[in-house]
Amino acid sequence: MKSTLVITTVGIFALDSKGNIIERKLFSKEPKKVADRYRQLRKGEIVPELSQLLKELQKNNYNELLIEDRTLASKISKIKGFNCKEFNESSVIQKFREKLDVTTVKLGRFGDRQEFQDFTSKVTLAIAEAAITSETQKKDLHAIQAIRTLDDLDKTLNLFSGRVREWYGLHFPELEKLVDKHETYARLVSDLGDRENYNIDKLESEGIPEQKAKLISEKAENSIGYSANSSDLETLQSLSKNTIQLFKLRNATEEFLEELMKKIAPNLTAILGPLMSARIISIGGSLERLAMMPSSTLQVLGAEKALFRSLKTGSRPPKHGIIFQHQSLHTAPKWQRGKIARLLSSKLSIAARIDSFGGEFIGDQLVAYIEKRILEIQKKYPSAPKVKKRYGRSRGSRT
C-alpha cells in the first residue's frame, strides 16, 4: 500500500491518498531539539522518530512511500521492504499543512491554535539560529575574513608608512631614497629616532648591510633636514611603533591564512597559492558557491565591471578576472592569455569541487597538467595571429 510522509514542526505524519493520518511520530516540545531534528533530516539522516514510523508502516504493509526530500527518499529506499520516491506538493498535502494547527489541537498536542502558533514561531527561530551558527563555523568564511583583513591592513600600512616617511623627511630627508622597505624605515625611526644616532654600529644592529650603513651614516652627518628635539620626535616614534605592530599583525594574519587554506582548499591552493585562493573564494562568496560555478563564470570572476560594460556597450568581453594574477597568465603574450585563462579556470573549477565536497588531494597532478598544456600552447602559438581586415561598418557605428 501507498503512504505519503509529511515532515512538520510538530512531527512526522504518514497520510493516505485522502490526507487522513495513518501513523504519526511527534517531536519533542523543546524548540531547540526540534531544530536539531530538522537539521538532521535535511542532511538525509534517519532520525529516531522517522525510524519508528517506518517500522509501524512496515507492519501494516505500507511499503510504497512518498516524501518531499530527495536525499531521504534515497536513504529510505535502501531499507529492505521499502520503495520511496520524491513527491511534488499536492492539494491533499497542502490542505493537511493548512489545517495542522486544528489537527494538532484535536490530537491533544496543544491546548489551542495560539499555543501551536507560538510553538511554531519558536521552532522557526531556533532553526534560523542553528543555520546561522552552522554557517559561521565554516572555515572558508574565516578565510574570507582573513583575506579582507589583509587587504585592509595593506591600505592602512600604506597610509601610515607614507605619513611616517613624509613626517620624518622633515628631519632626515635623505633617508627616503636609501631605505625602500616601509617596515625597515619605520623600525629605524622607532628605534633610533634622531639622525645623530645613525652610526654604523647601530644601523648594523638593525639589520642594515655594512656598505648601506656607512652611506646612511654619512648622509645623517651631512643632512639638510631641520634639527629636531626629543618632543618633536616623540609622537613620530609612537606612530612608527604602531606601524611596526601593524606589520607584525599583517604577517601573523598571512601565516594564519596560509595554514588555513592548506586545510580547507588544498587543491585550489596548490594551483593559485594561499592568498589568491582565499581572494577568489572571497569574491565568489564561499568555497561551496565557487564549486557550483561553471568554469566560464570562474574565469571572469573579479572582472564584473568589465563584463557589464561589454554587455552594455557591445565591446569585447573580458578574457579573465582575478586569475590574471597567476604568473603563467600575466606573463604570457596577449594572444595566448585567452587559452591559458580557459585552461586555468577549468582546472580551478575541478579543484574547488574536490575541496568543497571532501575529495582527495590531486593538486600536484592538476599543476603538472596545467604546466604541460601551457607549454603546448606556447609551442602551438609562438607568434600573434595576423589580424584580418574588416570591411563595411565598424562595430557599434551609427548610420
Packed helices 274-284 and 230-264: angle between N→C axes, nearest 10 degrees: 80
The confidence score (pLDDT) of residue 201 equals 92
Examine the pLDDT at 389 and tell me if it is beyond 80. Answer: no
Task: Give the mean model confidence (pLDDT) for residues 117-129.
Answer: 89
The confidence score (pLDDT) of residue 399 equals 42
CA distance 95 to 318: 51
CA distance 281 to 145: 11
Phi, psi of 293 (to 5 degrees): -75, 145
In CATH, the architecture of 2-136 is 2-Layer Sandwich (3.30)
pLDDT digits over 22-45, tens only? 999 999 989 989 988 988 888 888
pTM given for the model: 0.66
CATH class of segment(s) 142-257: mainly alpha
The confidence score (pLDDT) of residue 373 equals 95
Q: Where are the alpha helices (DSSP H) in 222-362?
A: 230-264, 266-272, 274-284, 287-292, 295-299, 304-313, 327-330, 334-356
Phi, psi of 222 (to 5 degrees): -110, 25
Q: Which CATH number fits domain 265-380: 3.40.50.280, 3.30.43.10, 1.10.246.90, 3.30.465.10?
A: 1.10.246.90
How far from each other are the two terminal CA atoms of the chain, in whole angstroms? 72
The confidence score (pLDDT) of residue 134 equals 63
Q: Do domains 2-136 and 142-257 have the same CATH topology?
A: no
How is the chain split into domains, by residue range? 2-136, 142-257, 265-380
Provide DSSP, 64-101. EEEES-HHHHHHHHTSTT-EEEE----HHHHHHHHTHH
pLDDT digits over 204-249, tens only? 999 999 999 999 999 999 999 888 888 879 999 999 999 999 999 9
pLDDT digits over 303-334, tens only? 878 888 888 888 888 888 889 989 988 899 99
Q: Sheet with 11-15: list strands edge to edge.
A: 21-26, 11-15, 2-7, 64-67, 83-86
